[in-house]
A and B are shown apart, each in its own frame.
Chain A
């Protein structure tokens, strides 16, 4: 009994320590990135390359996720609309959840699974194959060279992709409304546009920007902290994905709460 309690306490303690270490590491990295941004000292060509890589890697899944998010929300909302007869709510219902909640969360999660995990693996591999040391040996600071471009690319790209995602979510919603629910797509889109969802739209973008920051910092942190060969890389990718998902939920909650004030 006592032993079980002790081991429970030590594993809880260990988990708390691990969380604190991750937050500490990622936040420290964020400050170092910000310091490298003002005044700018980073590899401009690398920034473009990162934007391109991140964009190419992630836009297909963002588009696909968005189409489904729109479709699902129409089906869900239509259920209540049919039940209550409140047809005026369908545009708002779809728009609100797509722009402000489900859209950002799902797109953020997909982005983190695709780009964040990939980034941790890439940097981790560079660490274990001594490529990062090779940069340092050539007097190149890995932070402005490797991390800052990824940070800017993830921040910028995820925000842009959220706009794209919102558009495709509307497309998905309109198609589903027309084809499956028996609701004219024009009515849905007109209703949606009239619902004055600007706040929800900007909230989604703010969330996306925050996700971009957290995904880049967390994934770079885990990538650069890799120890111990290929298994170390695997472990880091795993930790990175889990931490990113957690961070996404926390940020979503905090931003949502702040908007509700």
Chain B
């Protein structure tokens, strides 16, 4: 199922001020693998995801992507690697000076090599697939949170990236749309060979359907790393989080 390691973290730590947000993270993301990143809110999942994409630099340890240490390579190599990435931000990060269609088309236009009519066709198709066919010409400020998330989803996946990082793809979405989104995550994952995907989510029931392996982040550390079957033998916290109601929302427990 899974092949070579695409992203490798060794002893990675990141702090803001004096406080270590994540520390001693050893983690591999392998080609062809769909990795689920779980853990309670505020324990460092988004920070870790930013480290995996090189959007934040570790204060300790190293992040290697395809064997290259992100901290050592020159800007051109870094740009080269980043072209392989798709990234869905937890807070959408849509370009507010562009229409929805331009937002989604942006990665394709920047990468070049695709004709404008073909871009328009693909953008329309992807947005329709996500139920946003009507929103093409609107601006991000005119959309609801869930709609923005879906536009972010379309932008992250339009270039068919080889490494895709999703930060909470179903947050703020109704159950039907959530299922659609997770289906898209899976479709993207299998659209080519050896795609490496990481999904951060609290929607554990839907993750169970698509993820090959789970990493649980607790208080900035890796508490668990393995497939669902291995959870029984792990720290009881993991089982409680994974099978209990803790995963859905902290307020409900």
Contacts and interface: CB of A to CB of B under 8 A. Distances in A.
Interface of A: 125, 129-131, 133-134, 136-141
B8 to A, nearest CB: 19
B110 A139 contact: yes
Nearest to B107: A138
B137 interface: no
B7 interface: no
Contact of B93 (A131, A140, A141): A131
B128 interface: no
B79 A129 contact: no
Interface in B23-54: 50, 53
17 contacts: A125-B96, A129-B91, A131-B96, A133-B93, A134-B87, A134-B89, A134-B93, A134-B95, A137-B87, A138-B82, A138-B83, A138-B85, A138-B106, A138-B110, A139-B78, A139-B85, A141-B79
B67 interface: no
B55 interface: yes
Given A129-B91, A134-B93, 11 more contacts: A129-B93, A131-B93, A131-B95, A131-B96, A137-B53, A137-B55, A138-B83, A138-B106, A139-B79, A139-B83, A141-B75
B220 to A, nearest CB: 21
Contacts of B94: 131, 134
Contacts of A140: 110
B82 A136 contact: yes
> DSSP class of B's interface residues: helix, strand, loop or mixed?
mixed
Interface in B93-132: 93-96, 106-107, 110
A129 B96 contact: yes
Interface in B47-93: 50, 53, 55, 75, 78-80, 82-83, 85, 87, 89, 91, 93
A139 B93 contact: no
Contacts of B50: 133
A184 to B, nearest CB: 50
A140 B89 CA distance: 16
A207 to B, nearest CB: 31
B86 to A, nearest CB: 8
Nearest to A130: B93
A191 B149 CA distance: 65
Contacts of A125: 96
B136 to A, nearest CB: 19
Contact of B91 (A130, A136, A139): A130
A140 B110 CA distance: 8
A136 B55 contact: yes
Interface centre among A125, A129, A138, A140 (most CB of B within 10 A): A138
